[in-house]
Amino acid sequence: MLLEIGLLVASLFLILLAAELFTNSIEWAGHKLRLSEGVVGSVLAAVGTALPETIIPIVAVLFGSGGEHSEAIGIGAILGAPFMLATLAMFVTGAAVFAYRKRRAAGVTLNISHEVLGRDLRYFFIAYAVAVVAAFVGMRAVQIFIAIALVGLYVFYLYQHATEGGAVTTVDHEAMPLHFHRRSADPMLSLISLQIVAALAIMVGGAYYFVQSISALAGSLGVPALVLALIVAPIATELPEKFNSVLWVRKGKDTLSLGNITGAMVFQSCLPVTFGILFTQWAISSDNIDGFVSAFIAIGSGLMIFGTMAIRKRLTASMLIIGGFWYVVFMSYVLLRNTLF
């Protein structure tokens, strides 16, 4: 048991190290290429912080490193990420806004681009709802069509972000030097690219051992592997990077902060889900029902938070904190279901 826990902790450390390297280099790449905050926050940073949850199911399913639990771990990681983003990540960001309210010009109200975030959430709701519907479709040809459509939807999402205007992103040079060249105030793009490649390589290795440790722990604890992956994977691999959102909130960069989360929600509801539809038994069953319940809660939490934003024409810390309520609801459901049934 101790060896399995040690392997889990070590693999998580590698994944988080890789995610930090990747996010750091991505923000520098956005600065060097003079990309807008919408592109950096909702696309580059979001994809960077979502990569661990994407690589884990790929490693689990294609390489079978989780043994008999491989598919369950893959589905759990795929469905757990959007749920965590729509609930716990929103709560953490809302709590940060409230904590820094006295040093923020806007107080508890977020100074955001409604156009950027509204577009992100529309894409998320459409993509994730379609992905859930695919689990009820028995025809394989229809599921493949849905998978292709989700990829196309994400490509169009990228196109819209790439063609819009907006403020060019800036880097806080003192707070965020490039890790591969910390003494340089303006590192070369080639060095930034090298850090991106190194981060991806470390992340793949960490994901491989993470899947193995989750499978071993599930057997030792007698806990379903899907539930363990659903809860542990997104918290351990994505939530720490979402503390970038906390730092951006503190600096008043609210569009970057929320775009980091909503952009990751779009990514997770399109590409990892597409992988799940194509390479797993993407159908609701007694073995994976917890994962699909989390999907319904993620959609509900997002609709409540951003539906309120659309009505009130503003977004406040208290509205984001609602996400924490839905996270507690799901955790209570999982505990009761796996205890009583």
Residue range 7-23: mean pLDDT, rounded? 80
CATH of the domain at 130: 1.20.1420.30
Reported confidence tier of residue 324, pLDDT bands at 50, 70, 90 = very high
Tracing tokens 């279901």 back to the chain, one arrives at 337
Token pair recorded at residue 50: 């979502």
Measured in degrees and rounded to the nearest 5, phi and psi for residue 312 equal -85, -15
Distance CA 68, CA 52 (A): 21
Distance CA 305, CA 177 (A): 35
Tracing tokens 């997002």 back to the chain, one arrives at 302
Token pair recorded at residue 61: 């399913």
Residue range 188-198: mean pLDDT, rounded? 89
Highest mean pLDDT of the ranges 35-39, 45-49, 195-199: 195-199
Residue-range definition of the domain harbouring residue 44 = 2-340
Residue range 266-280: mean pLDDT, rounded? 92
Q: Which of 5, 19, 3 is nearest to 207 (CA)?
A: 19
Q: What is the mean pLDDT of the chain?
A: 82
pLDDT tens for each residue of 200-229: 888 778 877 877 787 787 777 777 778 878
H/E element, 19:
helix 2-32
pLDDT > 80? residue 40? no
pLDDT at position 87:
94
Highest mean pLDDT of the ranges 170-184, 236-250, 271-285: 271-285
Residues 6+ apart with CB under 8 A from 92: 239, 242, 243, 245, 246
pLDDT > 80? residue 283? yes
pLDDT tens for each residue of 58-116: 887 887 655 667 788 888 889 988 999 999 999 999 999 999 888 888 888 888 878 87
pLDDT tens for each residue of 104-132: 888 888 888 788 788 889 999 999 999 99
Report the number of distinct structural domains present in the chain. Answer: 1
